[in-house]
Amino acid sequence: DQQVKQNSPSLSVQEGRISILNCDYTNSMFDYFLWYKKYPAEGPTFLISISSIKDKNEDGRFTVFLNKSAKHLSLHIVPSQPGDSAVYFCAASGLGGNEKLTFGTGTRLTIIP
């Protein structure tokens, strides 16, 4: 039951270029979306979020875009830095006010110096 999908298991990007990570969801009840970053041997770290009433949220080098009609969101990182190399998880919540997060399977981002 993959309600949140990240179809690219890995992505390599040159340092300084833009990284675009994609996420699709199937459940129209989701109303809040988050991106988490995870380094090996550490827990997921909150990166950025977006409510379903918005279509864009920006925080420094990170921007999340939400296309509700397509049930798609993306995370843009620009410019990409070596420290951005990590696994990125898309997560969603809502389902009638429930705070439980449903995670995608993650995308491993590698920034090439």
- Residues of this chain that interact with other proteins (CB under 8 A) are 32, 34, 36, 41-46, 49, 89, 91, 93, 98-106
Nearer to other proteins, 105 or 110 (CB): 105
- d(CA 85, CA 82) in angstroms, rounded, equals 6
Nearer to other proteins, 17 or 54 (CB): 54
Nearer to other proteins, 39 or 112 (CB): 39
Alpha-carbon distance values, 1 to 26, 27, 76, 103, 105 (Å): 10, 11, 27, 11, 12
| Least Cβ distance, residue 94 to other proteins (angstroms) | 8
| Kind of pairing between the strands at 86-94 and 72-77 | unpaired
